[in-house]
Amino acid sequence: MTDQSLTELIERLSLQFFNRPFVHQANFNRRLKTTGGRYHLQDHHIDINPKMLTEHDTQTLEGVIKHELCHYHLHLLHRGYRHRDAEFKQLLAQVGGARYAPAAQKTAKSSKIVIYKCSDCGQVYPRRRRMNTARYVCRRCHGRLIYQTTQIQ
C-alpha cells in the first residue's frame, strides 16, 4: 500500500463513519515504533505505523485510522480531541475505533559479546562494547587485560 492509497482509504473511512471529508495528507512513517499512528496538530496530517498493515489485519489498521480521525475531526471542530476528553472517548466508541494500538512484534536483534582475559590470573571479562585495554586492568590481581574474541549471539 502506498501513501496515496492510504490517503484514499482514510478519505473513504472519514466519509463513511464521520460524514466529514479528510482533506489533508496521510502517509506511512516507519519511525513510529510504539504507536499505531499520530495526528499532527500543526499541519493536520496523519502518520500511520506501517507495522499496523504488515503485522496485523486490515480491521486493526482501520481501528487505528478511526482513532486518528477522531483526533483530526474533533481538533478541527475545536472540541475535546485529547485521549482524556469525554468527547473523544464518546466519538471513538461511536465509530468503533481502537482505544490502543496492538503491540508490535519484537525483532530479534543479534548482539555481540567481546571477551577479554587477564594475562596473570585468567579472569574472563565478557563485555557488550569494546574497551581500551591500555586503560583498564584486572579487578582481582591488577594484571593486564588481553582481547580474546568477539562472539555473536
Active site residues: 68
Helices marked H in 19-78: 51-54, 58-76
Burial-class residue 151 by CB neighbours within 10 Å (0-12, 13-18, 19+): exposed
CA 101 – CA 98 distance, rounded (Å): 7
CA distance 73 to 116: 59
Dig out the grid coordinates for 43 from the structure: 499541519
